[in-house]
């Protein structure tokens, strides 16, 4: 260590010596015990260096490096052929790696399921569900299949239908919410109905309401797929999702079970097979937490034995 740096903080000295790394990243490395002075580990970023100190840095692998690492996980594969996987995603599983979730995502699990997906952008994922939304997703297994599915989504040929449990019932009981969505300027974690936002269209139908009118089951279908679209649109008509604190919902407890995640499930998915052109349709029953909610509040009157809801309950 040069005389000129004597008395300086070790994180500042390292930031000057290694300009390719941010000071915050170096502070994490220091806290993790990856920096030593004269073979003595230093864990305090404010440590003052002295002339003649021999500083060693043991480079840590950036968490981003794990973003495309295969990870074994129990995925619920509803359908598999040479062109696609159809996955029933559980609530709590992040779809894409991002800050705070560089591993343990659906993408990591898909790469373990099929190593060939590493050759496809986003491991074949062509649409997403929020972390705490459960239900069906289609994943392409080839570049050709991905191109087909992306075009089908663009042409609105992919049918996506959702079951939502909301505080209050919408008026009227069936309709279309056609309001643009953009990033909320007051809270960057949220989306909002905004003039100048991207076009967003949600069709909905009220199917059942709880006797006291405080909770309802709504079926939705999408023409567009904006971030948080159903959550934003239903909140905009004063019907926020049960458990969706970000958009004005709140947890509820029914018969001893607490629902704290947004009560939204991607229940049906239909698209044309990229390989054969045949129409493929899939249904995913409500997961246990939402099935319990529906039963307890008697919002399941048209529930069929396989856990799917009657065809005529869906908006067109």
Greater confidence (310 vs 299) lies with: 299
* pLDDT tier, 254 (very low <50, low <70, confident <90, very high otherwise): very high
Consecutive H or E run containing 229: helix 229-236
Kindly report the CATH number that applies to the domain delimited by 62-155: 3.30.2350.10
Q: Contact at 8 Å (CB) between 189 and 246?
A: yes
CATH of domain 3-60: 3.10.290.10
Question: From CA 53, how far away is CA 39, in angstroms rounded?
Answer: 10
Stretch among 63-67, 74-78, 95-99, 250-254 having the lowest mean pLDDT: 63-67
**What is the per-residue pLDDT across 102-134, written as a single tens digit (0 to 9) for each?**
889 999 999 999 999 999 999 999 999 999 999
- Tell me how far apart the alpha carbons of residues 243 and 132 are, in angstroms, rounded to a whole number: 10
Residue 315 has pLDDT above 80, yes or no: no
Q: What is the 3-state secondary structure (H, E, C) of 128-146?
A: CCCCCCEEEEEEECCHHHH
Helix, strand, or coil here: 181?
strand
Q: Which of 5, 11, 83, 130 is catalytic?
A: 130
Strands (E), 14-130: 35-37, 40-41, 55-57, 77-80, 84-89
- Check pLDDT > 50 for residue 176: yes
The phi, psi pair for 267, rounded to 5°, reads: -90, -30
Q: Tell me, what's the pLDDT at 303?
A: 54
Q: How far apart are CA 316 and CA 221, in angstroms?
A: 8
Rg (CA), the chain: 25
Rounded to whole angstroms, how far apart are CA atoms 273 and 289?
32
pLDDT of residue 312 exceeding 70: no
Q: What was the pLDDT predicted at 19?
A: 82
Q: State the number of CA atoms in the 13 A half-sphere of 241 facing the CB.
A: 26
What residue spans in the chain does CATH classification 3.30.2350.10 cover? 62-155, 156-302
The first and second tokens of residue 193, run together, are 């109905």
Token pair listed for 209: 């309401």
CATH tag, 156-302: 3.30.2350.10
DSSP state at residue 198: B
Token match 């990856």: residue? 34
Active-site annotation holds for 288? no
Long-range CB contact pairs, 78-81, < 8 A, 24+: 78/136, 78/282, 78/284, 79/280, 79/282, 81/273, 81/275
* C-alpha pair distances (Å), 17 with each of 21, 29, 88: 9, 15, 48
CA dihedral 231, 232, 236, 241 (to 10 degrees): 20
- The least confident of 41-55, 179-193, 249-263 is 41-55
Q: Delimit the CATH 3.10.290.10 region(s) of the chain.
A: 3-60
């Amino acid at each position: 260590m040069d005389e000129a740096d004597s008395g300086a903080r070790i994180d500042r000295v390292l930031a000057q010596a290694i300009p390719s790394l941010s000071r915050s990243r170096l502070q994490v490395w220091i806290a993790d015990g990856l920096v030593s002075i004269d073979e003595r580990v230093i864990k305090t970023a404010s440590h003052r260096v002295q002339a003649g100190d021999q500083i060693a840095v043991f480079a840590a692998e950036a968490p981003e490096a794990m973003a495309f690492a295969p990870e074994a996980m129990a995925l619920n594969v509803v359908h598999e052929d040479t062109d696609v996987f159809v996955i029933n995603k559980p609530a709590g599983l992040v779809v894409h790696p991002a800050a705070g979730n560089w591993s343990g995502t659906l993408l990591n699990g898909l790469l373990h399921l099929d190593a060939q997906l590493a050759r496809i952008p986003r491991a074949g994922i062509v649409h997403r569900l929020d972390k705490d939304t459960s239900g069906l997703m289609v994943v392409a297994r080839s570049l050709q299949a991905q191109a087909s599915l992306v075009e089908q989504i663009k042409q609105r040929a992919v049918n996506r239908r959702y079951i939502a449990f909301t505080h209050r019932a919408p008026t009227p009981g069936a309709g279309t919410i056609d309001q643009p969505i953009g990033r909320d300027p007051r809270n960057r974690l949220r989306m909002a109905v905004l003039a100048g936002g991207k076009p967003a269209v949600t069709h909905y139908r009220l199917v059942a309401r709880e006797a006291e009118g405080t909770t309802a089951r709504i079926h939705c279908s999408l023409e567009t797929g904006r971030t948080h679209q159903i959550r934003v649109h239903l909140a905009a008509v004063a019907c926020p999702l049960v458990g969706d604190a970000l958009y004005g919902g709140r947890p509820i407890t029914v018969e001893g079970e607490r629902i704290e995640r947004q009560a939204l499930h991607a229940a049906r998915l239909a698209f044309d097979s990229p390989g054969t052109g045949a129409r493929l349709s899939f249904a995913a029953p409500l997961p246990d937490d939402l099935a319990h909610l529906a039963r307890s509040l008697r919002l399941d009157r048209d529930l069929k034995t396989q856990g799917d809801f009657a065809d005529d309950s869906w908006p067109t």
